[in-house]
Amino acid sequence: MALPTDQRQSALDAECGADFEMRQRIEVLLIAHDEPDHFLDRTDGGFEMTSAHEISRANSASADLQAGKVISDRYVLREKIGEGGMGEVWVAKQTEPVKRRVALKFIKTGMDSKTVLARFEQERQALALMDHPNIAGVLDAGMTDGDQPFFVMELVHGLPLDQFCDEARLSLRERLELLIPICQAVQHAHQKGIVHRDLKPANVLVTMIDGKPIPKVIDFGVSKAIGGRLSEETLTQFGAVLGTLEYMSPEQAGFSGDDVDTRGDIYSLGVMMYEMLTGLRPIDKQRLQEAALSEVVRIICEEEPAKPSLRLSTDGGLPSAAAIRRTEPKKLMAMLSGELDWVVMKCLEKDRARRYDTVSGLAQDIERYLVDEPVKARPPSTGYRLQKFIKRHKGVVVAVGIFMLTLTVGVTSTTLWLFKALDAQREAENRLLQRKKSNEILLSVFANLNPQGAFAYSAPLNARLAKNLEQAAVELEGDEIDEPLVVAKMQDLLGTALVDLGRGTQGISLLQKAVATYTMELGPEHYDTLRSKSNLATAYRMAGEIDLAVSLHEKTFEVFVRKFGVEHALALTAMNNLAVACQAAGDFERAMSLYQELYEVQKRTLSPRDLVTLYTLHNLAGAYIRNHDLDQALLLEVEVVERCNEVLGPSHPHTIIAISTLADIYAEAGDFNQATGLAREATQRATEEFGTEHPVTLSCNAILGKVYQLAGDLDHALPLLKKTYELQVQRLGLVHPETLTSMRSLG
């Protein structure tokens, strides 16, 4: 590769001799080296202009492709937007059967060898198999009058992934969110039996649709069928290295094209993720371009790249990388260290058996990171790292082995030296990592206290958990944890759990501290800050501080809509929370409007069985009750009860609340037999599952008392309402909406 182009042929003659297959492999690698962005190289409209020497080698037939030329009687060429080593791309106007702008992709004139034609044929068939919103679709295919193959693709107006991320100054979280649909597109291709084999930022174009960035994976020109055969031309018979070197998996660089599978794409996605997070690549492009062929293969197949956080910490571009990602260098390093390092390095394992099994596995780990759940990826064990050390330094290990045989006395110290040489640098890093891990284990225990079933609400356990949580909050104040964000996360989880368990005052205090820390450390509009604010607003509502709840929910909702759009899951959750708060404040008209808008969006974007849709139906039914539209309320709540029993089970608190609400509707409608039966059922279930003093039980008792009262059974109604009111005053406070409702019922 270091030789001038005019000297390569003689060198190949000398090195390869009569070994035709070896020569073919090397020639293809040289093409990949010289033309790293082949076939669809970008110009400033999303593509890069082809070089002068490429233009000069086109023969006269390429001149036939000119603006205004009509292809197959229905495609009028407008302008060429890209050209590379394997073909060229034109914008064209399709005239029939529909009028639209499309992209026509032609094989490059003068390179119509059987191998190139096989690559083109495979690409055309591969794209035809796929139907995914994040894959550029193939619309048509054919031959020009000059027997030049082409196919028609969806025209994508966008920027390459890396350019879009940097120009839009996307944060680390936004970059990870953008990577998820890319993974989903590649997984779709894999399920169709297609391996891309040339994934890189230039082959993912990002366009804005309705204010949202939408990535499109393009150029499946080097894809390979996994299962059924698409084309068995000479495309891979020589183990040709296809793809761009910096993003190429070790198995692909090692001339084993017949053995490349979906995990090669996972490796390439790992390189892309590395670059999106740091602005750097695991292997420097210039180093590969300057290296000899054997050295290139050795680097790709053997050298372990530095993990992203370590690479960035030693690079002079850290300040600019942080600025482009809208954060500070220290915070960027903190976000990369640990889980994101693990996820990226799992993709980049040289041994593909140690990578993610599927692209979905990678996407799921990214999603886990984004919602603060533990990722599946883990740092490599000491034993595995020792094996890698021995493999990389065979000579040193052999020498040490001989030394150990001749000096038996030094066996222990020599062995320890090997481990120390491997682990000394990592020990300091892992000390902090272990502390973080222990905190994560603690956090996961607290997270499990979030009531999602009967056991979390049972009376004895309720009291014990609340006591333990309060004690943990006291200990947290004195703990010598020097990481504010770890403390804030614990405060957020502890506070939310305490509020759910009826300890509103203590919970609000912790949540206020968490919000203050998140705001100071991450900014007022960071995802973690907004999530904690939402939890605090809900706590205000449950504690009867309704005005504070409405105000804070309004602010978080406005930010979520502005940042993500109204159909984003975070915005929908914020809309629901605001509607609940408005309803608690007595603003039923606004609550009704919000619920109706929310339900319409959810019907378009979510499954009818989705729990979020289910909760919206329940809340909407409650709003209809307040507006005295009992027929509509009854229709909705019957459906809610049926689906809660089916999806959540009869013991879940939301199922019990739905039954109690249905009883309330029947009572308002005058059907006291139905109302009494349902209200008693809800109260009995709540008492058995949660105890007599839990907020869910008190709410059910209040409804049962109301049913008795409306039915004229005051002997049962008044004692029950009085007892419920007294407990609500103790547990919820005098100004809580449910306490006030019980007080009004008592007259």
Catalytic residues: 198
Judged by phi (left if over 0) then psi (alpha if -120 to 50, else beta), residue 691 lies in: left
Q: Retrieve residue 34's tokens.
A: 């010289």
Cβ-count burial of 736 within 10 angstroms (0-12 exposed, 13-18 middle, 19+ buried)?
buried
**What dihedral angle (degrees, nearest 10) is formed by the CA atoms of 679, 684, 689, 694?**
60
- 217 CB neighbour count, 10 Å cutoff: 25
Distance of CA 666 to the CA centre of its chain: 44
CA dist 159 and 203 (Å) reads 10
- 37 CB neighbour count, 10 Å cutoff: 22
Is 578 within 8 Å of 585 (Cβ atoms)?
Answer: no
Which letter does DSSP use for residue 627 in this model?
T
Is 506 within 8 Å of 473 (Cβ atoms)?
Answer: yes
CA dist 310 and 735 (Å) reads 54
Considering only CA atoms, which of 125, 84, 127, 9 is closest in space to residue 244?
A: 84
Is 223 within 8 Å of 192 (Cβ atoms)?
Answer: no
Q: What's phi and psi for 656, nearest 5 deg?
A: -65, -45
- 380 CB neighbour count, 10 Å cutoff: 16
Is 466 within 8 Å of 498 (Cβ atoms)?
Answer: yes
Helical ranges in 606-671 per DSSP H: 611-626, 630-647, 653-668
Which letter does DSSP use for residue 214 in this model?
E
* DSSP bridge partners of 194: 225
Handedness of CA 320, 325, 327, 329 (dihedral sign): negative
Distance of CA 497 to the CA centre of its chain: 26
CA dist 235 and 215 (Å) reads 28
Considering only CA atoms, which of 251, 189, 255, 273 is closest in space to residue 223?
A: 189
Residue 350 neighbours by CB under 8 Å, 6+ apart: 250, 301, 302, 304
Considering only CA atoms, which of 659, 711, 663, 664 is closest in space to residue 685?
A: 659
Count helices and strands (H / E) in the chain: 33, 13
Which letter does DSSP use for residue 306 in this model?
P
